[in-house]
Amino acid sequence: MNAAPTYRWYGTLTRAAEVIAFVEHQLEANLQAERAGGRKYPVCIWGVHGIGKTEIVRQIAERRGWPLVSIA
């Protein structure tokens, strides 16, 4: 079964797996930029309340062994 999109990615409706892949990609790009002395870019996930944005980020931080700081 193909779940209905519940997130917007640059204004496009998207699914949680696509958001996770994008965030992981951006984090890796930022780590590479940091090692090279380059510019890093922030990641912002937006959407209606209760769709799991914070949970996605919490899981990514946990997998990477990073602390989670939430600003709401």
Report DSSP letters for 46-71, one per residue. --STTSSHHHHHHHHHHHHT------
Question: According to the model, what pLDDT value does residue 67 have?
Answer: 96
How far apart are the C-alpha atoms of 59 and 25, rounded to whole Å? 15
Closest to 30 (Cα-Cα) out of 40, 18, 21: 40
Other C-beta atoms closer than 10 Å to the C-beta of 8 total 14
Segment 23-42, tens digit of pLDDT: 999 999 999 999 999 999 99
E strand segments, the chain? 7-9, 12-14
Query: Is the Cβ–Cβ distance between 13 and 7 less than 8 Å?
Result: yes
pLDDT tier at 61 (50, 70, 90 boundaries)?
Answer: very high
